[in-house]
Amino acid sequence: MEDIIAELQNDDDLIPPNNSTILNDLSNDVEKEILIDVKNVSMLFRLPAEKIDNLKEYFIKFVKRKIKYKDFWVLKDINLQVRRGESLALIGRNGAGKSTLLRLIAGIMEPAKGEISTKGVMAPLLKLGAGFDSNATGKENIYLNGAILGFSKKEMAKKYDSIVEFSELGEFMNVPIKNYSSGMMARLGFSIAVDVKPDILIVDEILAVGDAPFQKKCKTRIKQLQDSGTTFIVVSHSMETLKSLCQKAIWLKDGKIELSGSVGDVSSAYTKYCNELSLDK
């Protein structure tokens, strides 16, 4: 075997010297562990085929089994892989299936077809206030979210001060979060997610909430997590945000993958498509 390797290394026709960087890059890609693997995934929603104006009418038709439904495939045969340390942007218009795909990856919903496998600690920031108890205080919710992510009370006690410091909500920790503004809830949720240093961080438009200084601080922390090997999937309608945070992108259109590739190429194609739609109207 060593003789064969030596012969290959000395054969300029087989491996030109200027290809060594390409081979190293390919080797590094192979070595990166796949943390998210989505295979042939489709998602079906059953929607009422007729408009029902009120709850009474719905209940009567439901009891009499007169409600007719139509099938709506929100996702169709989705395949993707995300490796450790990669950052993926999901791009598409409202209703394209982006948020549904994130919920499937997070394990909140089960696909109608196909399978999804993930590895490591996952912190999903899918909806403002998701995972919070509105009647509990900010402090109590830090421990609650930590438990959901698999951390003990003792472990979260060690993280508590840094979470509060990052969120800048120290004076509100004993206030029930039902009294928090949307920006305050975004701060708390993000601060918890990034402090537990997840293997996978899923972010759905939450970076659009909060003031500009905090958004800037969030992006800086995301960069730090990226440097440490955290995997990201991000949904945002801001192409500039996605290009600053992500390496790769997938454009979802009508539940299917329209295009995948570098975030620059995919975002440019999507922006061109949206501009053409605007001109047609």
- Enter the tokens of residue 280: 């047609």
Residue 80 contacts residue 38 (beta carbons within 8 Å): yes
Domain locations along the chain: 34-120+199-280, 129-197
Encode pLDDT of 55-102 as tens digits.
Answer: 777 777 667 676 777 788 999 999 999 999 999 999 999 989 998 999
Q: What is the pLDDT of residue 230?
A: 92
Sheet holding 200-204, edge to edge: 122-125, 200-204, 231-235, 87-91, 248-253, 256-262
Distances, alpha carbon 239 to alpha carbons 5, 108, 136, 209, 270, in Å: 46, 27, 36, 16, 9
Cβ(246)–Cβ(89) below 8 Å: yes
Q: For residue 97, count CB atoms less than 10 angstroms from its CB and return exposed for 0-12, middle for 13-18, buried for 19 or more.
A: buried
Q: Output helix, strand, coil percentages for the chain, rounded to the nearest 5.
A: 45, 25, 30
Q: Which tokens hold the place of 82?
A: 């995300």
Spatial distance between the Cα atoms of 30 and 34, rounded to a whole number of angstroms: 9
> CA–CA separation, 202 vs 102, rounded Å?
7
Secondary structure class of 32 (helix, strand, coil)? coil
| Tens digit of each residue's pLDDT (9 = 90 or more) over 27-64 | 454 457 899 999 999 999 877 666 777 777 777 766 76
Domains 34-120+199-280 and 129-197 alike in fold: no
CATH fold group of domain 129-197: Helicase, Ruva Protein; domain 3 (1.10.8)
CA 72 from centroid of its chain's CA atoms: 23
Q: What is the CATH number of domain 34-120+199-280?
A: 3.40.50.300
Convert the pLDDT of each residue in 152-210 to its tens digit: 999 999 999 999 999 999 999 999 999 998 888 888 988 888 888 889 999 887 666 56
Residue 23 clears pLDDT 90, i.e. is over it: no
Tally Cβ neighbours within 10 Å of residue 87.
Answer: 22
Q: What is the pTM of this model?
A: 0.75
Per-residue confidence (pLDDT) for residue 272, from 0 to 100: 93
Q: Which residues pair with 248 in a beta bridge?
A: 88, 262
What does the DSSP 8-state code read for residue 206?
G
**C-alpha to C-alpha distance for 154 and 89, rounded to whole angstroms:** 35
- The bridge status of strand 248-253 relative to strand 87-91 is parallel
Give the chain's radius of gyration (CA, Å): 23
Which residues lie below 8 Å from residue 166, measured CB to CB, with a gap of 6+? 191, 194, 195, 217, 221
First to last CA, the chain: 65
How many angstroms separate the CA atoms of 177 and 144, rounded?
A: 13
Tokens 């009508």 belong to which residue? 254
